[in-house]
Structure 1
């Protein structure tokens, strides 16, 4: 029996039980080894309708879309139409943020590797028309700059919408049309949808949220985030198999199975090359390339990306030196634990890669110096208020704002932070089974952290 057949048998036997144990309404998985694919599905696409999940079902891939947007932009690099190190204003003269100097300096590369430095979690709805991305970019004129361009990593959804607008402006067509013509078509995708109007033509999953743990996941009130954020990951949906056709192209030097060239080998390599380090956060890679998240494990280098929309979560990992890719698409529940259980087994069996253990809180041997941590750290989607009590315990209260207050109310509340790794503390109570890490980085000259980093760098409010 081949390695892939063994994985296929394992998925068929175990995925239904893993989905049920983790309270995930439905999930579909696919594994690629060379040119062969194994697939499995379990659960339901919608708890209200009871429609069964199948391997050809469509799920939203969320921020994995960012790798697709980067690929579209790198095609323009291949054609000599875009220079990675040219200012964004070379292609979007109208690009404005609050910091005029930064607006003129930010490069296309910095959009791709999340080092542009401006506030990133902005989900402004500018309508459903083909001009919604263009209109969205115009709303950024008063967006604050968190740090100088290129200084550090901070995950940036808005930056990727700007990158999508660069693609639109150079191609002279809407982002969705760029996806269809320059990726869907050459890749031969048959189970992919650029928006909800296309997704409805297929067997599509809906998201589930868990505002009350006792009731479990419930159908989300809306299907997707706003179209204006499409280049960052608000709309794109597909089957795991079609997602792996995209992954296979990146494993095969930019070529499809029939030899069609989608991307140059040089651009494929450039996307996988480290651009910037990422604070130690456990759930994320240790570095970022162009679009790709990078994981430098002792056994092999892994590239990938995760995605989350309204009640849907997606996971993609590639191990280039082994020609292996894994996709898992889900629609609610304890998706992180499901991801861990599936990927730990598949990666170990096919590549020898061992996923590192997740963070566990530890009691401090001595009282922590609260001066380093205490303060209010703010962003457009929430405030994190860190305090220290009389017993020396560190606490963090999360106050979601904007759209996240509506779609993730379970993230609000107060939790204790315990030591984990240097200036990275972890929550004492798990969220969906994970003790979330919080890295305090930078120095304001008084020994206090400048940023609370959870993938996004939230700046300390001046006191």
Structure 2
């Protein structure tokens, strides 16, 4: 190991505890692969009630990072000639359809892999806890999913699409999604520290999420470990890994980690290629690969989160660099950002992301009536209003399973009201605490009446008034 590599390990050992303290996160596990060496660092506790320390073999829920595993399983089927990306999903899962049968018949495998199926994506209702959970999910829930856009028209993050891909894997492999993942990915990659359910997690030292019962109150362990039902495991539910095993998946996409016996170079590179831009009007564009997010040149990543859980897997394929950060609190995303941005800048020369610009306080739109209204999707209701000074505001009210999962965890899903300031075209900066930009939204599909039909963050919401 070179002195630079020694410096890296020492840096991680110093920075991780500091960042946990800074952001108030109970515990985290980190694994970094660079130049064929893997560095493991852990800090804090897996549970503030038991005070058991985090160790490198500790399991954390990875939530939506699960989609990378599902996408890789699908691409293995492509490699074997069993699936074609631009073939309708119904070719492989005959029961697949959405509430709009005509649109459902046009949705392809590629649409699902790139979140462009155009249907409601957050179907978090429980189905069963048995081996038929995904079958019931596709047959009972996806069939009721409303269609907000034509297939392939635009990006809108879609958990339900990856649940459907999990069912596709089951049908073509003739087994459960879990067993397919164990056989075709975990075993070939040497992944051993994994659990798919709460029962399996008991065999390991497993972290639990931490939430605040009310704003300003100290974090405490979630009242339940398994907040997400087992109905949608292929998109992210209870699947848990150690950081060092999660980074093994990341290595598969690095130049020095390619393994054609697991995934061909052609499929590996295809997953990392930009297929579309999330929003055309974004000042800091993010592109979409096959499951992978491509936030800026040279980087691919995916995050995962649920109440009290935040995880990130980030890779720089051309620089043989991969990192997994697993945490047990919502603020863990800030820990990952503050740890990984400087790391990838130093080791791969990749600059941190540019921030969304903050328009001046006096910035207004000339036609506020085009934006004012109520918009909704399954998990959120957004109301855009105009105040007496001509400023636009959005009130985001959680609904349905977002509310029930927060209650199960022992917290509340809070309503938030924030100012919207125009950036360019139909894009707006969301102004957070301290006057900083907390994100960006876009308004889409302007009708003949001049009003926009859709409100879009990472997900689309449809105007209902």
TM bucket (normalised to shorter chain) is: over 0.9
Q: How many aligned positions are there?
A: 455
Q: What SS does the aligned partner of 2:56 have? A: coil
Are 2:246 and 1:249 aligned? no
Q: Please report how far the alpha carbon of residue 360 of structure 1 lies from its aligned counterpart in structure 2 after TM superposition.
A: 5.5
Provide structure 2 residue ranges, at least 5 long, that are not aligned to the other structure.
407-411
Match of 2:231, SS? helix
Q: Tell me if the contact between 2:309 and 2:330 (Cα under 8 Å) persists in the aligned partners.
A: no
- Matched with 2:376 is 378
> Residue 439 of structure 1: SS of its match in structure 2?
strand
Cα root mean square deviation, aligned: 2.1
- The answer to whether the Cα contact below 8 Å between 1:253 and 1:263 also exists between their aligned partners in 2 is no
1:459 matched to 2:462: yes
Q: Match of 1:415? A: 418
Give secondary structure in 2 for the equivalent of 1:150.
Answer: coil
Asked if 1:199 is matched to 2:201, the reply is yes
How far, CA to CA, are the matches of 1:3 and 1:252 in structure 2?
20
Does 1:99 find its partner at 2:100?
A: yes
Change (3 A) 1:268 1:460: same
Equivalence for 1:70: 71
Separation in structure 2 between the aligned mates of residue 186 and residue 32 of structure 1, nearest angstrom: 18
Within 5 Å, which residues of 2 pair with 1:295-306? Answer: 295-297=295-297, 301-306=298-303
1:44 is matched with which residue? 45
Q: 1:89 deviation in Å? A: 0.7
Cα-to-partner distance string for 1:390-442 (whole Å, 9 max, x where unaligned): 211111111211111133534413222234455332333249x9713222233
Matched residue of 1:316: which SS? strand
Q: Is 1:227–2:230 an aligned residue pair?
A: yes
The aligned counterpart of 1:321 is 318
How far the C-alpha of 1:280 sits from its partner, in A, is 7.0
- The verdict on how the C-alpha distance between 1:137 and 1:71 changes in structure 2, with shifts beyond 3 A counting, is same
Greater Cα offset, 436-445 or 301-310:
436-445
Q: Which moved more, 1:271-280 or 1:108-117?
A: 271-280
Asked if the contact 2:85–2:109 (Cα under 8 Å) also holds between the matched residues in 1, the reply is: yes
Partner of residue 156 from structure 1, selected from 154, 158, 167: 158
Q: 2: distance between equivalents of 1:281 and 1:221? A: 41
1:111 aligns with 2:117: no
In structure 2, C-alpha distance between the alignment counterparts of 1:438 and 1:216, rounded to whole Å: 31
Q: Report the Cα offset of residue 203 of structure 1.
A: 0.9
Matched-pair contact (CA < 8 Å) for 2:281–2:426:
no
Change (3 A) 1:295 1:367: closer
Return the alpha-carbon distance in structure 1 between the equivalents of residues 8 and 30 of structure 2: 11
Deviation of the 1:279 alpha carbon: 1.8
Q: Which runs of 5+ in 1 are unaligned?
A: none
8 A contact 2:363–2:422 mirrored in 1? no
CA deviation vs aligned residue, 1:59-96 (integer Å, no higher than 9, x gap): 11111110110000111111111111111111111112
Aligned partner of 1:185 in structure 2 is: 187
Moved more, 87-96 or 410-419: 410-419
**Contact 2:431/2:437 (CA < 8 Å) preserved in 1?**
no
**Equivalent-residue separation in structure 1 for 2:113 and 2:138 (angstroms):** 16
3-state SS in 1 of match to 2:452: coil
Between 439-448 and 204-213, report the one with greater CA deviation.
439-448
Whole-Å separation in 1 of the counterparts to 2:292 and 2:450: 33
Shift of 1:289: 1.0
Is the Cα–Cα contact under 8 Å of residues 310 and 331 in structure 2 kept in the other structure? no
The farther-off stretch of 174-183 and 211-220 is 211-220
Q: Distance in 2 between matches of 1:283 and 1:144?
A: 30
What is the alpha-carbon distance in structure 2 between the residues aligned to residue 434 and residue 55 of structure 1? 35
Over 3 Å counting, the alpha-carbon distance change for 1:131 and 1:156 in structure 2 is: same
> Equivalents in 2 of 1:253, 1:4: separation in Å?
17
Distance of aligned partners of 1:246 and 1:367 in 2 relative to their CA distance in 1, 3 Å threshold: closer
Superposed CA offset, 1:233-257 (max 9, x none): 112111111111111112148744x
8 Å contact kept, 1:210–1:333 = no
